[in-house]
Structure 1
């Protein structure tokens, strides 16, 4: 620092910025800010973030240090700014210097991939623009980042764009501070690539615009194409062509599982679904996930004619929702057609190019081999995909986004942790696997990996763990895994390493994940309502209908759904009628031939199942709420065989929704769920009883009374569970609910009415158990978690009822409620266990 006449003439500082500051135009922003303030120096990407040295008038230096955080470009997220005084050098001008690895790794964060911005779309459509119809148009504000990054610091040489040298014009833009492509690492044009190609068996390959024209013609003609995106291949066909959709379903062995559709714009699907402001924002914003939209039940014929000819039943048979996304890459915009293009499909099925549960296909050679039985051609390109990244899936419940799959657009954005943790790896579960690494107060979750039942998924797990560790600099010293002794994810995470392993109970991890994402430090227990299909219990049973009093240090099982036998394991999951029969037997209800699950079960299987349940052969006890939903779905005649996970429960929710909101909310309660009987502000149905008070099976939950065989289907009496104490916890017995369902079936009640009454019964059960838990132990916060809470009707009903009773309700907003969120909870429980 120098002075003249007692005044400070200049100062120089080294400024270190950490956070999401690479791949978001941060260095160009720093350049522009420094130039505006008349400062000299340089800025560089490092292994820790962005490092700048600035020199000039002290006041201007102070302003720079303040504005570098407050004025950062919108894709950036500044975590910290540190600066120190250093010696003056007298350099003139400001420059962006080549990136270098400086200091320790792990503080720099690569941003997620983002959808093509409106300015790039405008250039894509402009015949006068030199990037007109360029399938890889991008700028500092949009395009791939995470999926092309091979290492840090983030620079073109460390991305999959390294093999595409900039042409002279792109080079000028890249170096021009006034251009929005100033230091945009994926920048390209028609001259410098990447390039498209269309491969169709029996024909020569086509390139460029010709490939696109032919691809659109093929899709319009009923062809199925593999389309290479930014995070993997998709399988695409015309969503308005039932024959093409059916062919894709057969080839992919998809069963009836819904497909997501990509629409050219909102007008193509708006007449068919319910679209609120938040759904519109999600669909058109920078993330552009798949958004689950409720189908409209009031669609007029004129609206159907105005909408794109989407074969809804072929795309998502008997599903209450339609998964919709809008184009998020330039190639998608081109594939769906620009103004003036020949007519083509306005809505495409766009589904992951894999078989169920397998990881995404990203390698071109693998795509040609593995996808050959599924497709008629490949629309591909020559830019490698370094990191697989599936589409994210979100729904809106009560005006709040609710993630069902956290992947593209969100990964690898860190999740802040309420407590510091040591360097650790969490393996997640074996279904819908997502792993995580963490250190300090941040956790990084991988994208959706898949089901851990084949070598390809296990290999994808290894690669995801290695890549996250490389990007974050986390070297795990502890591994957190599920307690299930047979989980492949646990074995994979332990393989080849000698480090402490913490085993975390499945439902405890679910509750901890909800606590963590809401910033709870674990100083006070919450009431964790954890409903799912399968989770390994501490007693060796299959848990899944649990109410836990939990913090990060441990949990107590306050209540559970009463055990019933799970006959044949996966066989009961795939055939809900088996679960219905098991529940009927446990409830003491005879297997009469007029009941739907009895009628659909083959006679020889029925006899074998009776023997199996009588002897307990191959029967594990389960408290699963997911399996109870399956059972009621079969009893109501909705779904007897499941072709995909949770199909019976999804269709039961659909039946309840279609029957009408008033019925779904409960009889006589048009403005919300019914309150349980009993005094007290919490609606405690049994205020003087606890687990040791000797209550009996007659203690019902819910308004009104149970349904008996003589009841008709007029004014709807409520279904109700029976509560009874057992070994210091409450058991929720579904026998009265099942008896009421049977009575309604025999009275000829509509399946939708039965479904609505059952949903309300579960809401009333949750409400009653939480009231008991609050009276007994005092927690006023409830976490709703587990895969069953992917059911919007149930989630909304429980949350509204509990909030009406004065509870603070934690719903998932950053990670999925199902097994895709397990890893976050595992990290927090393991951190407490090793401290």
Structure 2
């Protein structure tokens, strides 16, 4: 921050998240309190203040010390104003001007003051589903471009009535320059049918939900499917509608007290639930919680969150019961945001559509986090967090778009020293999700007024994101290895500035040798890496089929694991083999023997799948990662004090973990112990392996920093064991918290690596 120059007339340029968070009204109040004259305006994505008076120094200091809770000031430049610059009497909010750059504010959950008004019969916005103020409401999802002013938002078609205009212009009102301001007279309204609006629409939707039906509700960043969370038949029907047989469903609760009735909530979780981001938080399910078993079948955790909009508050107040609230989409497509599309796609499979006439300009699903072992980790980064930027270790000389990977897709736009992360898109598996990704990339470029001159992409040629890279000239594309991006994302988030050890435990990613990787220890910096250790390989019978069917992956390890000695005796896996169709078993064995459509992978994720199947926990994934989740759930019930057998070998200059002794011991132990106990010992085993390899790598690299990355580290039990082991070994383990450890963090890692290479560092 620059020091205040001599004199009492200055220009102050404020950077950071300073638009859409009540910053200009705050500046106006601060100036008035201190007797400072001048003006404040949005300029592009920044705020520019011209100030004059005897207490300018106090004024500048107060800009950071007393800023609004959701503001984030990253820089202040103060320069002297010449006498030729005329400032009027008093202090005012001046008209915005165009400019480049800035930070786009995320959407904010309804604040306590607005909730009080919502349920106050004496308030003119009583029960109005779209009330908002400078502290809450839609931001990124209604923004066209910066600067953040009403004419540049989806609210531009709703002219302010006299009462709202008076509040908007009143410096003493908390809606002073609140851009989405509205009321029943001048703002959006609910709709149920062409003839049913407002309170009638809300009542109709509540009646359907109370009767066990399903309603498509237009939320902040897209349509959501809603039903009674305690109604087993409604939940089963919702699963059929979404073609989602077992993947957990999120539950919306009215208050923190209601959340406590459903789950175990510590202080950290309570703070995250009640934050302005209001994410879905994964919490241990309370025994006897009044929820349908189908919410999260077979799992110990449930995803719970608090109301994010006035409409959600109203629904819960009327129904007085927890609700399932999940993304409004079908068959893996992106969340529906268009009203006509909602009627066409969601209308026929629900009992009604509760919409409204405020457009959604940018799609954003709900964020998901976990609070365990003293830390909060992000699993899905979207509403409430995205597109807030994160710092990069090296500034981008020119704007660069990091295209992400394939699953749990995100993209990121690197400008100057920041990476602006778009919200979760979904899995890039078809034209619908590809179009959603392209829309998000266009949103980022428009918001920041920055056309990407470069792109960073994954090495896998089959990813739709990699194919998208062909839009740039060959000399403007930077290929980034998948697992290098994983560990670089963790390093960048924590501001690591030296070489580090990267441990990437993942499903699948293409290595720089053209083979599939997934259990890797790397010696790395932001520009380069060297593979130091890996998990032994096993074939994936049928390729993607083995990912969908963990039982196949188990067969891959039984009949084709990389050899360092004796294989797993077939008789130990008799229980698994008895569940596999005889004809399929014969085909798979032939495929492995002849190496037909059986790509080999050093994947930690696939090893977890295989163990889950061998222990009888999950033969077929109905959603990505199900087998591993069930393995962790089983393990959480036991305190493993002894690992299974494991071995390390050296091959081709690398340390290699051989899982065959581990699998053999697991199957032998399972004959006399519960599957959960063996699962717990398996988790301990992998933690010991990782710690041992990381210690060797750290010694070779002369560093104590170990950055963990990859979707397997979403396993809280494994991560806690690894972190504890590394700490005991005298190393400094780092875990991503603000960026997902899964492929949702790949784009951030790609941006960090690409910017380092562009800078020649």
Tell me the TM-score range normalised by the shorter chain.
over 0.9
Deviations 1:629-687 (A, max 9, x none): 11110110111111000100000100111x33x23xx24xxxxxxxxxxxxxxxxxxxx
Match of 1:330 in 2: 310
Alignment correspondent of 1:114:
108
For residue 777 of structure 1, the aligned residue among 701, 718, 721 is 701
The equivalent residue for 1:164 is 158
User: Cα RMSD over matched residues?
Assistant: 1.7
Task: Report the alpha carbon displacement of residue 275 of structure 1 after superposing the two structures with TM.
Answer: 1.2
Q: Deviations over 1:381-426 (max 9, x none)?
A: 1000011011110001211110001111111211012222222111
- SS of match in other structure, 2:444: helix
Note the 1:56-95 alignment, pairs <5 A. Answer: 57=53, 59-82=54-77, 83-87=79-83, 88-89=85-86, 91-95=88-92
State the 1:16 CA deviation. 2.0
The answer (yes or no) to whether the contact 1:320–1:651 under 8 Å persists in 2 is: no
Distance, in Å, in 1 between the alignment partners of 2:570 and 2:97 is 72
Q: Aligned to 1:730, which of 646, 650, 655?
A: 655
**Does the 8 A contact of 2:208 with 2:351 survive in 1?**
no
Is 2:95 the partner of 1:98?
yes
Query: Is the Cα–Cα contact under 8 Å of residues 509 and 822 in structure 1 kept in the other structure?
Result: yes
> Which whole-Å CA distance do the structure 2 matches of 1:394 and 1:129 have between them?
35
Quote how far apart the aligned CAs of 1:188 are.
0.8
Change (3 A) 1:68 1:573: same
What per-residue deviation string (whole Å, max 9, x for no partner) do you get for residues 757-800 of structure 1? 11111111112112222333332111111000000110111101
After TM superposition, give the deviation of residue 173 of structure 1 in Å: 0.8
In structure 1, the gaps of 5 or more residues are 1-8, 668-717
Distance 1:650 1:29 in 2: 46
TM-score with structure 1 setting the length: 0.87
Supply the distance in 1 between the matched residues of 2:693 and 2:49 (Cα, whole angstroms): 57
Q: Indicate yes or no: 2:583 matched with 1:604.
A: yes
Aligned mate of 1:275, from 258, 262, 265:
265
Alignment equivalent of 2:425, drawn from 425, 440, 449: 449
Residues in 1 aligned to 2:714 and 2:311: alpha-carbon distance in whole angstroms: 32
Alignment counterpart, residue 812 of structure 1, candidates 722, 725, 736? 736
Cα distance in 1 between the residues matched to 2:571 and 2:645: 22
- For residue 496 of structure 1, report the CA deviation from its aligned partner: 5.9
Which protein has the larger Cα radius of gyration, Structure 1 or Structure 2? 1
Distance in 2 separating the partners of 1:473 and 1:261: 38
Of the three residues 717, 720, 725, the one matched with 1:801 is: 725
Contact 2:24 2:40 in 1 (8 A): yes
SS in 1 for 2:25: helix
1:567 has 2:561 as partner: no
The answer as to whether partners of 2:573 and 2:667 remain within 8 angstroms in 1 is no
Give the one of 186, 189, 194 matched to 1:195: 189
Match of 2:488 in 1: 512
Q: CA deviation at 1:477?
A: 2.4
Q: Partner residue of 1:143?
A: 137
For residues 602 and 54 of structure 1, do their structure 2 counterparts lie closer, same or farther at Cα, with a shift above 3 Å needed? same
Q: 2:385 aligns with which of 392, 404, 410?
A: 410
CA contact (8 A) 2:45 2:448 kept: no
Q: How far apart, in 2, do the equivalents of 1:546 and 1:63 lie? A: 53
1:246 aligns with 2:239: no
Q: Deviations over 1:226-279 (max 9, x none)?
A: 100111111000010000000010121102111011011233342442211100
Contact 1:252 1:374 in 2 (8 A): no
Q: How does 1:403-552 map to 2 (within 5 A)?
A: 403-422=378-397, 423-495=399-471, 500-521=476-497, 523-524=498-499, 526-552=500-526
By how many angstroms is 1:481 displaced?
0.5
CA–CA distance in structure 1, aligned partners of residues 25 and 261 of structure 2: 43
- How far residue 179 of structure 1 moved from its aligned partner, in angstroms, is 0.6
Distance 1:356 1:288, change over 3 A: farther
Q: Distance in 2 between matches of 1:371 and 1:43?
A: 45
Asked if 2 retains the 8 angstrom alpha-carbon contact of 1:577 and 1:600, the reply is no
Q: Is the 8 A contact 1:438 1:474 kept in 2?
A: no
CA shift at 1:590, angstroms?
A: 4.2
1:345 deviates by: 5.0
Query: Given the alignment of the two structures, is residue 629 of structure 1 paired with residue 608 of structure 2, yes or no?
Result: yes
Q: Hey, what's the Cα distance between the residues in 2 that align with 1:34 and 1:499?
A: 51
State the alpha-carbon separation in 1 of the partners of residues 158 and 579 from structure 2: 60
Structure 2 partner of 1:833? 757
- 1:483 touches 1:505 (CA, 8 Å); kept in 2? yes
1:709-724 equivalence runs, <5 A: 718-724=643-649
Match of 1:224 among 206, 214, 217: 214
CA 1:497–1:195 in structure 2 vs 1: closer, same or farther (change >3 Å)? Answer: farther
Contact 2:144–2:446 under 8 Å retained in 1: no
